[in-house]
Every structure is written in C-alpha cells, then in structure tokens.
Amino acid sequence: MGNLNNSVAIFIPSLRGGGAERVMVMLANEFASRGYEVDLVLARAEGPYLSNVAENVRVVDLGASRVLTSLPRLVRYLRRERPYAMLSALNHANVTAILAKWIARVSTRIVVSERNNVSLSTQSAQGMMPRIVFRLMGWAYPYADGIIAISSGVADDLAQAVGIARERITVIYNPVMPVCEDHTETSYAHPWFAPGSPPVILGVGRLTEQKDFFSLIRAFAKVRIQYNCRLMILGEGELREELEDLVKSLGLDSDVALPGFVENPYFYMSRAAVFVLSSQWEGLANVLIEALACGCPVVSTDCPSGPSEVLENGKWGRLVPVGNVDALAEAVLATLTEDTHPDVVSRARDFCVEQAATRYLDVLGMCL
C-alpha cells in the first residue's frame, strides 16, 4: 500500500448488520471514488454488507476469531502496508488499533471514532470484557492522532467518562444513503404495504435492551385500540423470544411482525406511516436519519444523545421521554392522524456522505 498521503485503511470487526458497519462501508466507497487507495481491514470478513463494498476498495481479512485476538495480525498489516492513516470504529477496535500502531512502531495516523454513549453502554453491558475495554480506552485514546464522535452528546459523554479534553474530539454526524428512493426495489415488497392495507408503524434496530422495543410494543397496543394499524420491527437480537412473548400476551399476533434483519430497510421506511425510535440511548441514531431521508414521519424518544440533535429539538418530529409508554403512544397517534408533516427529506440532506467524507479526510490529515 505504501505510506503515501493517499492511502487509508478502515479497521472494524466485521460487516455484520449495524449502523457503524454501514457507515464505514459508505465512507470507504466514497474515499475510493475520490481516488484514495483504500483498504477495508476486518478482524473477520463476514456479514451482509460485504456485498456493498465497491470494487475499488480492497477487503483485507485478518481471519481472527475476535477483535482483540486480531492484534498480532493487525500489527503485521501495519508494518507491511504502512497506510498513511487508519480510521477505526467501535471502542474495542479503537483500542486494538492504537495498540497495534504502538507495537508496530509505524508513522500511520490513527483516528478513532466513537459511536455510542460510552458511560451508558458500559453500565448496561454484560460480562467483564466491556469494562476492561472501557478501562483500556482511558489509557489508549490520548495516544490517538484524532478522535471523532458522531454527535455532540457522544463527544461530551466521552470526554467526561474517559477523561479526554473535549476540544480534542471532533463531532462528525453520520452520513446516510443519499437517495432512499433508489433502494425501493419491488423485490423487497411485503404484503402489509399492499394498497388498501392498514398503515404500518415501523421500528428498526437490534433486538436488545438499548432499543427498548418492549415500550414500542406496549405503546402500539394502546394506539391499536384507537386506530387500525400494524407494527413491524426489523432487526435481530437476543431479546427476540421475550418480545414475541410480549406480543402474544397482548393479543397482537396478527398485527405485529418481527421479520428479522433486513439488509435494505429503505423499502419499508419509504412506505411506513410512522417511523419510531424507542431507544434508551443512542450515539446519533442512523436509522432515524435514514427514515427522514426516505420521507417518513418520525417519532423518537429524547434519549441521550442523538435524536434531539437530529430532530433539532422536535422541529422535524415528536420527541418523548425515554420509557414513557403513554407519551410514546400519544405521539404516534398524533403523527398518524395529522394532515401535514414537516419536509423531513430536506433535513436529511444535512447528513450527506460527501460532506461527512470530507470532514473525516480532514481529521485523517488526507484532504488533497
């Protein structure tokens, strides 16, 4: 690869479904389209977004079982290829990237990106490893050549939680797919969106505690009493069985669907009546921006730390307190029944990939 100022590596665990993975692929493709030499370095080359990687982006598979065990192979990669800069995403990958540069003794600029509220995600994490990684962040992050946070809330939290000067952290909002309408092929059709069908309320995300789909299902039960509609939640995760049990206990089997992970959710977003983000916390909430780009009216919890920034304190969609089922139901019902909605697509244009890529390249020290 060579240590030229046009060579950049992006290091992430894999391309399994998630907002961070999608954003890193978008950035890799955009960098390559501008003439940069780009390596997408994966601890393990697996996941649905592999098919989205552009042909002029080289995928480097470290073949490791997990991120932390990829360290020796990442060290060898840095010594062999010597990219001018390397961007990493997700905190365990960030720590690994900083360690790899330190061991490899190369001049590669390391820029780490933090994509979630560190304090909240660490508190809710299971097992010892997330807490170990959190402690390592306090040691490692000061050695990064650049630190990026995807919202001001994430930046503030990171500075306080890890003990980094706030001015060292650059805020760059996540980009979204530029035109959702280009991704609405009929092959993604679902019978619930057939003409004359009841309107669909949509949620998208991993079936985890963070996303709090329990509150969304309970809120839907209240809305369903007053309005003929359906609820669809796209995503997969460890809480699927508990969520399915809740749906059954509320007698909503015929009106709630959990189809699993969908590689391309834009067909659903562009046809849903309301998109709902019910999260307890977020970094920025990519799916919220994607829903805006697809022209879908939105309702969101006012969780730390992305939705209020994205929606500009409620200008582009209703914000409700975290975990407040009644408030969520009222906001969804009001959005379903109102005659006009904000021009949410215009807000989504503030999150274009071209603007984000330019700012990332600036922090990487690579703007031509």
Mean pLDDT of 151-159: 93
- Nearest residue to 303 via CA among 209, 230, 231, 173: 209
Does the pLDDT of residue 188 top 70, yes or no? no
pTM summary value? 0.81
Rounded-to-integer distance, Cα 49 and Cα 27, Å: 13
- Nearest residue to 21 via CA among 31, 32, 10: 10
- Strands ordered across the beta sheet of 200-204: 256-260, 230-234, 200-204, 274-277, 298-301, 318-320
194 to 10, 72, 190, 200, 268: CA distances (angstroms): 41, 52, 7, 11, 12
Confidence of residue 53 (pLDDT cuts 50, 70, 90): very high
Please answer whether residues 103 and 75 qualify as being in contact, where contact means their C-beta atoms are separated by less than 8 angstroms: yes
Q: Mind listing the pLDDT tens digit for each residue in 254-272?
A: 999 999 988 788 899 999 9
| CA-CA-CA-CA torsion sign (77, 78, 84, 90) | positive
Please answer whether residues 108 and 82 qualify as being in contact, where contact means their C-beta atoms are separated by less than 8 angstroms: yes
Q: Which domains occur in the chain, in start order? A: 7-175+352-363 (3.40.50.2000), 180-350 (3.40.50.2000)
Secondary structure of residue 34 in the 3-state scheme:
coil
Q: Which helix (H) or strand (E) holds 358?
A: helix 353-363
Does the pLDDT of residue 148 top 90, yes or no? yes
Tokens 């990939």 locate to 353
Does the pLDDT of residue 185 top 80, yes or no? no
